[in-house]
Amino acid sequence: MSALVFYLIAGVTVASAAGVAFSRNILYSAFALMGLFMGAAGLFVMLAADFVAVVQVLVYVGGILVLTLFAVMLTHRISDVRVSNRSVGSLPALFIVAAIGAVMAKAVFATSWHAISPRVAQPTTYGIGNALLTGYLLPFEVASVVLLAALIGAVMLSRKELKPDERGSKG
């Protein structure tokens, strides 16, 4: 039963990833990205990481995916029927991916992982909260500064120039 669910979720994840990578239409790629994020969240649940799965759904599906869709919609003209998503130079890329993938596959299969059999799944929120505010307090605070910097940076990058005399005549 558990194996069946795993193969189902893994199939959805891999198929969505293939859709993102190979779709001709960038809008279809963006929607396939949603399948990938949901599939990854399902895998996280199967790995007993309930909090990370919820964060994945909230941040990726609720935030990043919507942002990506906004960008897709904003960067082509409405009258333009064909959304550009063409791929160039897929043969060298295929070679590079095959080389790196072969190295990673060898790393996966040739290493004897000392995998211990997992325990019964417990709720992880309490432990993660404790760890974030004790051992990981400094990275946690740095992360908030990073997010603030990203917020200000995104606003600075995308705002309209209001003063024409400040930088050229663009207004």
Token digits of residue 79: 């009258």
Which listed residue (8, 85, 123, 164) binds another protein by CB under 8 A? 85
d(CA 50, CA 123): 7
x/- map, 87-116, another protein, by CB under 8 A:
xxxx-xxx-xx--xx--xx--xx---xxxx
In the window 27-56, what residues touch another protein (CB under 8 A)?
A: 29-30, 33, 36-37, 40, 43-44, 46-49, 51-52, 55-56
C-beta separation of 31 from 17 below 8 A = no
In the complex, least distance from residue 51 CB atom to another protein, rounded to whole angstroms: 7
In the complex, least distance from residue 131 CB atom to another protein, rounded to whole angstroms: 5
C-beta separation of 9 from 43 below 8 A = yes
Which listed residue (79, 81, 82, 86) binds another protein by CB under 8 A? 86
In the complex, least distance from residue 78 CB atom to another protein, rounded to whole angstroms: 14
Token digits of residue 153: 């940076």
131: contact with another protein by CB under 8 A: yes
User: How buried is residue 23: exposed, middle or buried, by Cβ count under 10 Å (0-12/13-18/19+)?
Assistant: middle
Token digits of residue 60: 């990726």
17: contact with another protein by CB under 8 A: yes
d(CA 136, CA 155): 29
* Amino acid sitting at position 166: E
12: contact with another protein by CB under 8 A: no
In the complex, least distance from residue 22 CB atom to another protein, rounded to whole angstroms: 8
Residue 92 or 167: which CB sits closer to another protein?
A: 92
